[in-house]
Structures are given as structure tokens and as C-alpha cells.
Amino acid sequence: MLHINLGERDDLSGEIYRQTRRAILSSLLRPGDSLPASRELALTLNVARATVVIAYERLEAEGFIRSRQGAGTFVSDWKSPVPKLPEETRHRALAPRPIWDTIPLPTAFDRSAEFDFRTGLPDISLFPHKHWRRLIVRALHAGEGGPDRSYRSPAGHPDLRASIARHIGISRGISAAAEDVVITHGTQQAIDLLSRVLLAPGDRVAIEDPGYEAPRRALEAAGARVIGVPVDDEGLVVDALPSGIKAIYVTPSHQYPLSVTMTLARRRALLDWAERNDAAIIEDDYEGEFRFKGHPLEALQTLDTAGRVVYVGSFSKTLLPTLRLGFVVVPCNLRAAMEKAKYVSDWTTSTLEQAALAQLIEDGSFVRHVRKAGKIYGARHQLIAEIIAGDFADHLELIPSTTGLHLTALARSVSTDEIVGVTARAAEIGVQVHRLSSFAVGQSARAGLVLGYGAVATDRIEEGLRRLLTCF
């Protein structure tokens, strides 16, 4: 239905003409689009039919519309040049906060790749598409006339919250009740919600350097002062934490992007520091499900006896990046505030997908999927490690890793600027890979490469790395 606003205007026929003409010239109405019948539009606008007829006759005389007996009135496919609409001069009274001038939109995945070694991408071919489709259909039928057809608790679907609490209790040793779990759209929303609950503008937050850019940007946008803290082969350097920190964001199971695992001694030191300094710890366990060697270290949250750790998880790496489902496990004293923050943010996450995911976990399909995917990723991990250690020995030094979906290698013989050239040349021959320097926060950027293996098929790895080698 064409929207015409007559208001208190006197020239009603002229306004109908002008607003319809403007809609045609701006391509809101395109050639072939139908206009409401004159009688119908007159009833809608509460004017005489003759008022609409006069406007339509003027538009038809100028070639903008045509009428067909018994068919209706349509926008013409006219060929005359489109007159340029006058630009409106507006007083620029509204302006965004300066922080938004410093935040770039992501471009890391804008370009497709024949050999895709970018991080953060699982193998979507492993996703149980057929089973997921059945679960979505089941959730649709189960929700007919029921509570899943209306708004639910902002904290999430009760079945999914219970399923997640049970799953992470078994797989990660985390003791959590369903009431401790808040469902989110992923890690970034989790960080955004936590910044609303825990931080005031100007509060200082420590993050790993190098580290994951998205949480840093979310914290900065919330008004926090973000401070990078170096990472060594044992994880975040606790002794380098400055005073006055209100929260610390860490990836202890598989540091992003250096791949190191935080040692038990360093974990205990971090917990002690947080207790002494009255700080919160945000633990992002984004790839904790995939470990290929040795006994998995427990999550940092399992060592916490003082309620300092907030545990963040996501299904973007284990299932699909486009399945925007994640969760936060909060200490009991933050439950109410987190649910309220979720409510004012977007009230609820898709209940259909939540119900389907709950069933995927409950029927054992999720665990089977993770186990199957883990074997495939483990083979890719080993293959890349062997090739880097052998063929790239003159150029790169691999950082040992037994977890996750990426490997990191430090440059031996090339500078940060030269690595930029390597990745640019690689992109031209179909190989996409991330530079380690792009993850720097405050300290000098380190030269190296970060190689993901979720999105590159096992039988394509050798050829992709062979091409990459020619770029050095």
C-alpha cells in the first residue's frame, strides 16, 4: 500500500500527485508496480474519489503511470531521464560518539579463498544439517500454541540452559546450575552484556596482547579503558597487570592468537590477583572442546572459589558461525543483573534455535559431532605442524599447541612489514591467512602467521601451504 501523508494540507490532489511522483523518481515505486485503485486510495485517505482521479490523470499525462481497463493502474516503464531530486540541506545536529570513528568494520572474510587458512571458521560440511532440520521442524510443531510462540525469559530457553549446564559439567568440569546460564548471540554479545553489568565508563579492563579484537572493541565502545597485558609461553603475564583493573579478559584454554595454554600455576596466580584487587575475570573458552593431545586442563572457572570468574562459551566454532548462539555462566550474585541486561539489549534469542540446540545436546548428537570433528581437526593440526616445522623451517617457528582450530608461527627471517607482503602475495594466488601483527593491542606487533584449519579440507592443505611457501 502506497503511503500518502496529507496532514492538514489544502492542495490534497497536488499532494497525492507530488508524493506519488517522488516515490517513482526515487525508485521506491518501480516500473510495473501497481498503484491502489482510485476508490481504494480515496477511502484510505478519507478524500473524495475525484481528488485521487485528478492526481492520477496528471501523473498519467506526464508519463509516470498508465491505466489498463479492468487490470488497474501501474508505474510506467518510461524512458525519459530521471530528474535529479534537490538535495535537502540538513543541520547536522546529531553526531556519533568519537569512539565510533576508531572502530573499523570487519573485512577479514570479505574475500573468498581457494585455500582458506583464516581463523575462526569451522568446517561447515561437518555440521549435521539433516538432523538439525528435523530438530527445527520438531521445535516448530512443539511450539504451536505453546510458550515457544511468545517471548520467553531473557536468560534463555529453560531446556537449553539446563542442557548446557549439564554438558559443560561433563566436558569441562564446570559446576553450574541452569539458573547460572544466560543464553546470548555469541561471545561478542556476552562481552557487551558483561560490560553493562560490571563496568562503569572509564573503568580499566585488561586484555591479552596480542588478543582477540572483537571483545576489545566491545569494551571500548562501552566506555572502558582497555589495557593490553603481554602473553608468554605460560599465558597472560599476571605480574604485568597494572593496579586499578576492574576486569580481565582471558582465553586460558587456547590463547588467541598465540595458541598457548595457561599453566596451572599462572591460573592460580591470576585468581589470587583478582581476589586481592577486587577484579572480575572473563574466561572465554571458545575452543575448549577440541584438544588433541594430553589431558585437558580444567576451565579456569573450576578453580574459582571466590566467585570471580564469568565463563563465556559459544557454538560458533563447534557448530556453525552463522548459528548465533552462545552462553555465559555467571556467579549467582550476577544472575538477576545479567538477565536484566539481556532484556534491555534484545529481550530474547531465537527460541526455535534454542529448542533445537537443546535437543541436539540431549540426544547425544552434539557430543558425537564434536568427537567426529575433533578427529578431523586433529589430523589437520598435525599435518600443518609437520609441514611448517619442515618446509618452512627457514622462515617460521611454530608455537607448540594441542588445542583449538589454529596454529601460530613466529617469523624467523622476515619482518612485520615483509609478512604483510607475504600475505598479500598469497591472497593473489588463492591463499588466505592471517598476520599475527594484526592482533596486537599496544605492544610492538610481532611478525608471524596464524593458520586456521577449520575451513580448509585435509587434502587441500599440502597444496595450499606449498603455494604459501612460494610467497616468502
* Domains of the chain by start residue, with CATH: 12-75 (1.10.10.10), 115-120+368-469 (3.90.1150.10), 128-363 (3.40.640.10)
- The pLDDT score that the predictor gives to residue 145 is 47
DSSP letter for 85, please.
P
The burial of 281, by beta-carbon neighbours within 10 Å (0-12 exposed, 13-18 middle, 19 or more buried), is given as: buried
For 406, the 3-state DSSP assignment is strand
List Cβ neighbours of 102 (8 Å cut-off, separation of 6 or more).
220
Beta strands 431-432 and 115-116 are: parallel
DSSP letter for 80, please.
S
Sign of CA dihedral 224, 228, 233, 237: negative
For 314, the 3-state DSSP assignment is strand
Instruction: For residue 127, give the C-alpha cell.
Output: 555440521
The burial of 396, by beta-carbon neighbours within 10 Å (0-12 exposed, 13-18 middle, 19 or more buried), is given as: buried
Q: List, edge to edge, every strand of the sheet that includes 448-452.
A: 396-398, 406-411, 448-452, 434-435
Please report, for residues 67, 114, 144, 158, the alpha-carbon distance to residue 180 in angstroms, rounded to integers and kept in the order given. 64, 43, 28, 11
Is-cis flag, bond preceding 257, omega within 30? yes
List Cβ neighbours of 18 (8 Å cut-off, separation of 6 or more).
none
Backbone φ, ψ for residue 92 (5° rounding): -85, 70
Residue type at position 203:
D
Please report, for residues 54, 201, 238, 364, 405, the alpha-carbon distance to residue 328 in angstroms, rounded to integers and kept in the order given. 62, 22, 24, 22, 21
**What span, in angstroms and rounded, lies between the C-alpha atoms of 47 and 53?**
11
Beta strands 326-329 and 181-184 are: antiparallel
Backbone φ, ψ for residue 407 (5° rounding): -125, 150
Beta strands 245-250 and 225-232 are: unpaired
- The pLDDT score that the predictor gives to residue 17 is 92
Please report, for residues 316, 373, 447, the alpha-carbon distance to residue 289 in angstroms, rounded to integers and kept in the order given. 12, 10, 28
Q: What is the dihedral of CA 431, 435, 439, 440, to 10 degrees?
A: -170
Residue type at position 235:
G
Residue type at position 94:
L
- Residue-wise pLDDT tens for the chain (472 aa)? 678 888 767 788 898 999 999 888 888 888 988 999 988 888 888 889 999 999 999 999 988 999 888 888 999 986 555 555 455 555 567 888 888 888 888 777 777 889 999 998 899 999 999 999 999 999 888 765 444 556 678 999 999 999 999 999 988 889 899 999 999 999 999 999 999 999 999 999 999 999 998 999 999 999 999 999 999 999 999 999 999 999 999 999 989 999 899 999 999 999 999 999 999 999 999 877 788 776 667 889 999 999 999 999 999 888 988 888 999 999 999 999 999 999 998 888 888 999 999 999 999 999 999 999 999 999 999 999 999 999 999 999 999 888 889 999 999 988 888 999 999 999 999 999 999 999 999 877 889 999 999 999 999 999 999 999 999 9
- The pLDDT score that the predictor gives to residue 79 is 59
Backbone φ, ψ for residue 38 (5° rounding): -60, -40
**What span, in angstroms and rounded, lies between the C-alpha atoms of 278 and 285?**
22
**What span, in angstroms and rounded, lies between the C-alpha atoms of 392 and 469?**
7
| Contact of 455 with 121, CB cutoff 8 Å | yes
- The pLDDT score that the predictor gives to residue 216 is 92
The half-sphere exposure of 308 on its side-chain side, counting CA atoms within 13 A, is 24
